[in-house]
Amino acid sequence: MRISLNSTYTKLRTILGDILYPKYCVSCGKPGAMLCTDCKNSLSGYQSVCIYCRRGSIGGMTHPKCKTYTTFMSSYSYYVYNDVLKKIIYEFKYKHNRSIFKLVYNLIYERQKLFRLPPSAILVPVPLHPQKLKERGYNQANELSKVISQIYGLDIVDCLERVKYTQTQTKMSVRKRKENVNNAFSPKHEFRDTLHRDIIIVDDVITSGSTINECAKCFSQAGQNIHALSLAIATHHTYSQTTSPEETVQTK
Ligand SMILES: [Zn+2]
Ligand SMILES: [Zn+2]
């Protein structure tokens, strides 16, 4: 009886919530849902790519010839970065609420079978500088790690810290981005033992890859496999025109 009452209450709350706070598409503003069908359909262009050259690769494995240039064994990205994802990521980054968290959860849940994540690996969110964390109130890479952890049952270990306050990389060239994040991260002292395990570094979006590469430099134990995971990745084709979620807002 209690279950039935609870479920009626939940349904009623959802209906009332929809009346009081109607949903609008996070991308185009159409009323009805957090993500309308048209915008959702634009997300279907998934392809599994090598993190270094952004060309197709099975299961996101780094090509043997690209291994010289990157620490990552493979990368897992659920979507190709496009205008709709820019807006979703912006909302996820700056408007911390249950609806956007649920949308991101569903977007990943639908595609969870694309990848078999290494079962003994730990999730390591790309950290924010403490000053930025104070301004924003939360770290979106941490929130994304929680989604991944809920779906795959992996542990989150917040073992990196950002030791350098970096400028927003919005309009920087690839070379400038590299310089900007150079030596920006460091492993936290208390987690030294954990660092022997395989690592999945988590970020909301991989554009040039400079930030996540810099995080990977913190892990150099022999035999340790390092992977990257993001909600979206810029492909080889979109790479040069890629803009950050912040730019989306300026054009709104
Ligand atoms: Zn829409
Ligand atoms: Zn490659």
Question: pLDDT tens digits, residue range 121-155?
Answer: 999 999 999 988 888 888 999 999 999 999 999 99
226 CA to centre of ligand 2 in angstroms: 16
Contacts of 34 (CB under 8 A, 6+ apart): 23, 24, 25, 26, 99, 100, 102, 103
Helix orientation angle between 98-109 and 83-94, rounded to the nearest 10 degrees: 130
Write out pLDDT tens, residues 205-237: 999 888 999 999 888 666 689 999 999 998 765
97 CA to centre of ligand 1 in angstroms: 19
pLDDT for the residue numbered 219: 84
48 CA to centre of ligand 2 in angstroms: 11
pLDDT for the residue numbered 249: 40
pLDDT for the residue numbered 25: 95
- Would you place residue 248 in the very low, low, confident or very high pLDDT band (cuts 50, 70, 90)? very low
Mean pLDDT over residues 108-114, rounded? 90
Q: What residue ranges in the chain does DSSP mark as E strands?
A: 74-80, 122-125, 160-162, 185-187, 199-206, 226-233
* Residues shown for the chain: 252
Distance (Å, whole) CA 205 – CA 140: 10
Which residues are in the CB-under-5-Å shell of ion ligand 2? 50, 52-53, 63, 66
pTM for the model: 0.83
85 CA to centre of ligand 1 in angstroms: 11
Mean pLDDT over residues 81-103, rounded? 91
232 CA to centre of ligand 1 in angstroms: 18
Which residues are in the CB-under-5-Å shell of ion ligand 1? 25, 27-28, 30, 36, 39
pLDDT for the residue numbered 61: 93
Q: Residue type at 156?
A: I
Highest average pLDDT, of 18-27, 40-49, 100-109, comes from 100-109
Mean pLDDT over residues 46-50, rounded? 78
Quick one: fold of 47-251? Rossmann fold (3.40.50)
Question: Among residues 109, 118, 40, 139, which one has the least CA distance to residue 75?
Answer: 118
205 CA to centre of ligand 2 in angstroms: 18
234 CA to centre of ligand 1 in angstroms: 21
129 CA to centre of ligand 2 in angstroms: 30
SS3 66: helix
51 CA to centre of ligand 2 in angstroms: 7
26 CA to centre of ligand 1 in angstroms: 7
- Would you place residue 163 in the very low, low, confident or very high pLDDT band (cuts 50, 70, 90)? confident
Q: Which residue has the higher pLDDT, 196 or 112?
A: 112
pLDDT for the residue numbered 197: 82
Model confidence at 179: pLDDT above 80: no
Distance (Å, whole) CA 211 – CA 177: 8
Half-sphere exposure of 197 (CA within 13 A, CB side): 19
The ligand with the least distance to the CA atom of 84 is 1
